[in-house]
Amino acid sequence: MRKKKLHIYYLVIFTFLFVFLTQEVKAKPGVSAHRAILMDQETGRVLYEKDAHTKSRIASITKIMTAILAVESGKMDKTVTVSANAAGTEGSSIYLKPGEKIKLEDLVYGLMLRSGNDSAVAIAENVGGSLEGFVYLMNEKAKEIGMTNTHFENPHGLDDHENHYSTAYDMAILTRYAMKNKTYKKIAGTKSYKSPDPNNKWDRTWRNKNRLLTQLYKYTTGGKTGYTKRAKRTLVTTASKDNENLIAVTLNGPDDWNDHINMFEYGFKNYDYKVAVPKGQLDNIDNEIYKGRTYVKREAVLSLTQEEEEDVRVQYKMLKPNKQWLEGDNVPDVVGKAVIYLDEREVDSLPIYFKGEEKKEEKKWWQFWAYSFQALIGVKDDG
């Protein structure tokens, strides 16, 4: 009898584990790539990862950094002269000619849509002063935005340097940064572009190589393709659905188009944005001095599964209040912070500000008549 109960016990345990593991496997996207990541663009939360922090060759997704530096240079309207060195760059090309004059903006479109290596070198020489100068800018920007496992040696991603690498995670960080720039976002999401051709009567027409954007996945908003013999297929894409914005990166992905679709569908199905702390006045601080007078300048948004919503907790850490603050005297810049926890892990924090009574300056009698006279004759504050 006891033996029979043990068999039933083990059967129940086995069934439970089987169901749990099966659901877990079904929940995760199928990914062929050696390294991959899915990141929420708004919050930076990692929704899925596979060996995402291993340093790897990245091929032409390098050009995301080249593009954002060009955009941020303030020289997009500048006409530049293409050097023989740039025109002679090997690999994918937009077929620039030595001595050709072309706007930097057109070079960036050629870089992102057609992955022009000649365009990358022309951009580097004109934005950085030289290839070496531009590579320095690339690495400085990488440090600035938190790409801790990245080193650039060229502006295009060709296999001509051994010390040129990044990770899936770092490339997601870079893409998240770049997508905050409206000009970059527009270029990365452009399906086709016309650029003047000085050697012909018609314009060049460049169609984006990113097939997710042009054909395969209607929610795609941008990205960059890449391939070299040593790096294999690399791909960065962004997608938006129902106001949710995601970033996918794969390195050495033989079936990368489907990898990205699978990751995006997983993210859109399982995660939603939830406002943990709304922007504006805080109504849940009961202290007599603080009540109705504290506020935050931005909202705290989390990307959560339905099950995780119950695991969110907000703690308000406040300074000891002073009655003088009510009169606007000696109020600190920040009087506290709202700390947001997910499953008891801190995931965000917001500075809390205090709004005291504004002191009204008494206008002198002559100011009153001056303002009244201006109003009478229709003079406005802005002239």
What CA–CA distances, in Å, run from 305 to 30, 268, 348?
19, 10, 17
What CA–CA distances, in Å, run from 330 to 63, 327, 333, 354, 357?
50, 9, 9, 11, 12
pLDDT, position 13:
52
pLDDT, position 22:
39
CB 28 within 8 A of CB 196: no
This prediction has a pTM of 0.83
CATH, range 31-270: 3.40.710.10
Sheet of strand 336-342, all strands in order from the earlier edge strand to the far edge = 280-281, 294-296, 345-354, 336-342, 312-318
Q: Residues with catalytic annotation?
A: 60, 63, 115
CB 239 within 8 A of CB 217: yes
CB 339 within 8 A of CB 349: yes
The conformational region for residue 99 under phi > 0 = left, psi -120 to 50 = alpha, else beta, is left
- Give 274-354's CATH code, choosing from 3.40.605.10, 2.30.40.10, 3.40.309.10, 2.30.140.30: 2.30.140.30
Instruction: Return the HEC string of 26-73.
Output: HHCCCCCCCEEEEEECCCCCEEEEECCCCCECCHHHHHHHHHHHHHHC
- What burial class does residue 32 get, using C-beta atoms within 10 Å of its C-beta: 0-12 exposed, 13-18 middle, 19+ buried? middle
CB 44 within 8 A of CB 210: no
Place of tokens 């060049």: 204
How many Å apart are CA 175 and CA 260, to the nearest integer? 15
Instruction: Return the HEC string of 159-193.
Output: CCCCCCEECHHHHHHHHHHHCCCHHHHHHHCCCEE
Rg of the chain, C-alpha, whole Å: 28
How many Å apart are CA 363 and CA 367, to the nearest integer? 6
Place of tokens 């994918």: 92
How many Å apart are CA 14 and CA 47, to the nearest integer? 29
Other C-beta atoms within 10 Å of 189: how many?
18
Q: Which two tokens stand for residue 104?
A: 């930097």
How many Å apart are CA 246 and CA 238, to the nearest integer? 6
DSSP assignment of 335-362: -EEEEEEETTEEEEEEEEEE--PPPPPP
Domain ranges of the chain: 31-270, 274-354
Please tell me whether residue 121 adopts helix, strand or coil conformation: helix
pLDDT, position 28:
84
Intra-chain end-to-end CA distance of the chain, in Å: 97
pLDDT, position 358:
53
pLDDT in tens for each of the 383 residues of the chain? Answer: 555 554 555 454 554 444 444 344 346 888 999 999 999 999 999 999 999 999 999 999 999 999 999 999 999 999 999 999 999 999 999 999 999 999 999 999 999 999 999 999 999 999 999 999 999 999 999 999 999 999 999 999 999 899 999 999 999 999 999 999 999 999 999 999 999 887 777 888 999 999 999 999 999 999 999 999 999 999 999 999 999 999 999 999 999 999 999 999 999 999 999 999 999 999 988 898 999 899 999 999 999 999 999 999 999 999 999 888 888 788 898 999 999 999 999 999 999 999 866 544 444 444 444 444 444 444 443 33
